[in-house]
Structure 1
Amino acid sequence: MNEVKVKGLITVVEGLTSNGQAFVNIDDVMMRVPGFLPGDKIELELSAGGKVVGAQLVEPSPERVKPDCFFHGPCGGCDLLELSEKGRKKEKQAMIARTLNRIQGGNEAYLHSFSSSREIIRYLPRMRLHQSRNYEERESGYLPSEAFASQLPGGVVPVTACAIVTQALARRLIAARKILNQVPIFLESLTLMSSSSDRSDRVVGHAVLMKGRPAGHHYQDLTKIMRAANLKGLSVANHEGKIKDVQGSVSVTGLIAPEVDGGPYDAEPSFFVQGNIFQNQVLIRKVVELCKPAPDIRIVEGFAGAGNFTLALAAKGARVEAIESHPGAVRTGVKNINRSGFADRLMLVEGDAIKELSRFKAEPDVLLIDPPRTGTPSIGRTLAKLQPKKIVCVFCDLEACERDSANIIRSGYKLSEAAGLDLYPRTHHVELVCLFEKA
């Protein structure tokens, strides 16, 4: 047992860590206090070892608000609903500032104005549902937050409404959940995706089967899901992600390079697309601004997806050599490239960017990477071989940003510019686009 050393220590929550946990500073030591918000006045109990063993709210932050979602808490989505929009924007900018201060030279880099999302609801073009693992209490819905996971025997939150998904998805939520409750439990997940247009009601789906469940055995169940949820197409993959069947057409438009001539370009629900139909355009413009594409510029791009940045850079005249690991994204990206009208200066190949970027011809003018939340821990080895003149990184995790930036700086670069964007309002997530140049 932890012996309580200090009781009744009153302090104020200073901010959020990069993973959204509240923290305080006691004698210059950062201590995490999950469950609180910036500005909360709390009373702490510390152990003899100086660890937090208890905390309770004394006075709520002036930025605390009542959540506008009935499912807040159990749902693992919008974790900052109890913080006002003003408070969320302020804290996200503070999170960026703290991250930059921990990066060598980060406080000297030019920081662009923070870009808030134009809309904080109806921005997300995808929705992922899961079937309950409780065969007696059939339910389906979203995955729960970590704090509530043990309290939900079926492992899902049976949401009946969601404010952040597009209208087309919101209209299908109840019907999709209802049919998932009726068919046998055989899916790991069902992802629905809509276009970016409010005028379009087109929605497609991607089903991932549980291990050992063949697609053919559940053909009728999949057809029922497609009809009940009014899906225009449904792709089906095994538990390893390999697509085994496609019914109808699974493409939607408006989510890839929405402002680039030659479109609209396609996306599919089996692979990642940016999660904010309003902010994606802002993000693309910022990446283009930092890459400075021109006819005499060669850009190597990792984690290219279906061409979201690739097409925008080539549209400005740059030659772009891109790599992407997801076969469906590559197939769709090649189709988008062929449609663009400037395929002569574009190349997209399938491969693991982390392992294979260094195989590209050395000394490109720009290396652009948009890695997953895990970042690119081996970026140093890539840079040693590729030797780009400058690097533009789109980070979606601040811890990964801090670690990868340190590796990039050790490889002979300096952080010159950074731009923060809010792609996921109502959550703690924030994007940071960084420009590194030769030191």
Structure 2
Amino acid sequence: MIRKPGRRPGPPRRPGLARSQSTQRTTQSPVVQIDKLSHEVRGIARYPVDGKNKTLFVDNALPGEEVKVKITASRARFDEGIASEIIQPSADRRTPPCPHFEHCGGCAIQYMDPAAQIAAKQQILLDQLQRFAHATPEQVLPPLTGDNFGYRRRARLGVRFVKQAGSRKPQLVLGFREKRSNNLVDITECGVLPADFSAQIPALHQLVDSCTGRKQISHIEVAIGDDATALVVRHLQPLSEEDRQRLLDYVKTRDYHLYLQDDSGASTVWPEQGAERLAYGLADFGLTLQFHPQDFIQVNFDINRQMVSRAIELLDPQADERVLDLFCGLGNFTLPLATRAAEVVGVEGAKVLTERGRENAAHNNLDNIHFQAADLTADFTRSPWARGGFDKILLDPPRTGALEVVRNIATFGARRIVYVSCNPATLARDTAELIQRGYRLSKAGVMDMFPHTTHVESIALFEKT
């Protein structure tokens, strides 16, 4: 659903079940005391196995709790499990409000108080910086927080037909993946989606089930802008005219946009005229950014607005400075930077996004931006657009981080670098590289981009020593 791919950081890579561990042991239910949280926001405990204390990672467990654990996997160096009974709960434990929490893999830590969630994520960031870079920020920034529900503006609802016990024919399942599984959970609501769209999920389920080509529909994407909502229906075979009309009638009555997607891409069905765009605003800068429903955007508009303002404040671009924005996407940071700096160069690997960036620059009457599509894993420092160097640099890489990039940009000698990260482990790795190349970690903090999930979004300021 989002641009930033990569393996989620966790315990050591998991090999197959250790042969030395018996099947009986994996079904044990020990009672343990949770000591702390892992960087996956799982409880960590130690318990006796074969006369030695073994590490146990526990889902649905908080520090200080005494819990009964159902062991789900046994490895050579650690075991995994889930808290099946909370014997002594933490003061930070909350009752998950979502009726699908036990099965849906979307919001894994709804049982945790929101303030405790963000505190845990901040500690994860600081721990990772210390572990991989031996660094502590000179100033820990206050977390950026917003609404815990109704925040998500992008989602993909899977569609499958499953034969269930007691049914003679397969039943439609529409929803998100189960925890640690490729199976789908049939949902009737989703609290992290805006309430008006969440209320439409039963009707959407009924709509798909009414289509004669329903088994050809693999998923439905929703994209919600400030101005409109769009549905992108992915189908494996052409839909009949009757089914197209059913979908069209549905979106017209709700004033949604409709796109149909096959192997050749997505095409608009409704509205029949006008640009295939939604929009979101950045009020602090007087900007409106337009995007296609399948473009990458930050899914939490409130936190995104706060994040952009903080990034610009940290970078502090001046009217006579040249600024580089790497992994710029459609201009989320590039355009705000251009309202402050003399010139901004936005670089992105996906050409379609740089084209969107140019559209947005023109839409907002900004003529001091140059967008460039380039392979950022290669040395770009001698490219024509990089000539003259840069006074300040902002980068917002994918989960894999930007190791090659930080090695290259150090040659520019920029006075400040702002690094926006969705993976504290790769941020920490790249922090070590920047420190080695003459930068100090001035400020860092977390942003609650994805409440109730284990995802950690952070921002860091590096200054030239």
- Same-fold call, TM cutoff 0.5: yes
2:412 and 2:234 mapped to 1: Cα distance?
37
User: Which residue of 151, 155, 170 maps to 1:137?
Assistant: 170
Shift in Å, 1:53: 6.9
The answer to whether the 8 A contact 2:161-2:173 is kept is no
1:345 aligns with 2:368: yes
Map 1:18-417 onto structure 2 (within 5 A): 19-24=40-45, 31-42=56-67, 51-52=78-79, 57-104=86-133, 106-117=135-146, 119-132=147-160, 134=162, 136-147=169-180, 149=181, 155-183=183-211, 184=213, 185-196=215-226, 202-210=228-236, 213=237, 221-222=243-244, 224-229=246-251, 230=254, 232-239=256-263, 243-247=265-269, 248=271, 249-254=275-280, 256-261=281-286, 263-342=287-366, 344-355=367-378, 357-358=380-381, 359=383, 360-361=385-386, 363-383=389-409, 388-417=414-443
Shift in Å, 1:231: 5.5
Deviations 1:284-333 (A, max 9, x none): 11110111112211111122122111111111234111123445433332
1:438 aligns with 2:464: yes
The answer to whether the 8 A contact 2:176-2:185 is kept is yes
Deviations 1:366-407 (A, max 9, x none): 221112223224334433665544321110122222223233
Shift in Å, 1:364: 1.2
Structure 1 range deviating more: 85-94 or 349-358: 349-358
Equivalent position of 2:3 in the other structure:
none
CA gap 1:427/1:341 in 2 versus in 1, 3 angstroms: same
2:175 and 2:33 mapped to 1: Cα distance?
35
CA gap 1:232/1:355 in 2 versus in 1, 3 angstroms: farther
2:320 and 2:53 mapped to 1: Cα distance?
50
Equivalent position of 2:17 in the other structure:
none
2:401 and 2:299 mapped to 1: Cα distance?
18
The answer to whether the 8 A contact 1:39-1:63 is kept is no
Shift in Å, 1:237: 4.3
Q: Which amino acid aligns with 1:2?
A: Q
CA gap 1:415/1:188 in 2 versus in 1, 3 angstroms: farther
CA gap 1:274/1:121 in 2 versus in 1, 3 angstroms: same
The answer to whether the 8 A contact 2:279-2:288 is kept is yes
1:227 and 1:327 mapped to 2: Cα distance?
35
CA gap 1:349/1:176 in 2 versus in 1, 3 angstroms: farther
Q: Which runs of 5+ in 1 are unaligned?
A: none
Deviations 1:192-235 (A, max 9, x none): 12223xxx5x211234454xx4xx66676455334324454334
The answer to whether the 8 A contact 1:13-1:41 is kept is no
Structure 1 range deviating more: 349-358 or 331-340: 349-358
CA gap 1:97/1:217 in 2 versus in 1, 3 angstroms: same
1:98 and 1:28 mapped to 2: Cα distance?
23
CA gap 1:55/1:130 in 2 versus in 1, 3 angstroms: closer
The answer to whether the 8 A contact 2:231-2:257 is kept is yes
Equivalent position of 2:21 in the other structure:
2
Q: Which amino acid aligns with 2:117?
A: R
Q: Which amino acid aligns with 1:37?
A: L
1:8 and 1:129 mapped to 2: Cα distance?
37
2:308 alignment partner, SS class: helix
1:142 alignment partner, SS class: strand
1:235 and 1:267 mapped to 2: Cα distance?
14
2:386 alignment partner, SS class: coil
2:285 alignment partner, SS class: coil
The answer to whether the 8 A contact 1:63-1:87 is kept is yes
1:224 and 1:48 mapped to 2: Cα distance?
51
1:48 and 1:361 mapped to 2: Cα distance?
49
Equivalent position of 1:13 in the other structure:
35
1:246 and 1:368 mapped to 2: Cα distance?
34
CA gap 1:209/1:87 in 2 versus in 1, 3 angstroms: same
Q: Which runs of 5+ in 2 are unaligned?
A: 1-19, 164-168
1:164 and 1:368 mapped to 2: Cα distance?
29
Alignment identity in percent? 21
The answer to whether the 8 A contact 2:177-2:184 is kept is yes
- What TM-score, normalized to structure 1? 0.83
The answer to whether the 8 A contact 1:169-1:192 is kept is no
Deviations 1:140-195 (A, max 9, x none): 43322334x36xxxx32221111111234224323323223333333443211222
CA gap 1:8/1:364 in 2 versus in 1, 3 angstroms: same
- What TM-score, normalized to structure 2? 0.78
Shift in Å, 1:427: 1.8
1:104 and 1:190 mapped to 2: Cα distance?
41
The answer to whether the 8 A contact 1:372-1:396 is kept is yes
1:191 alignment partner, SS class: strand
Shift in Å, 1:59: 2.1
CA gap 1:236/1:429 in 2 versus in 1, 3 angstroms: same
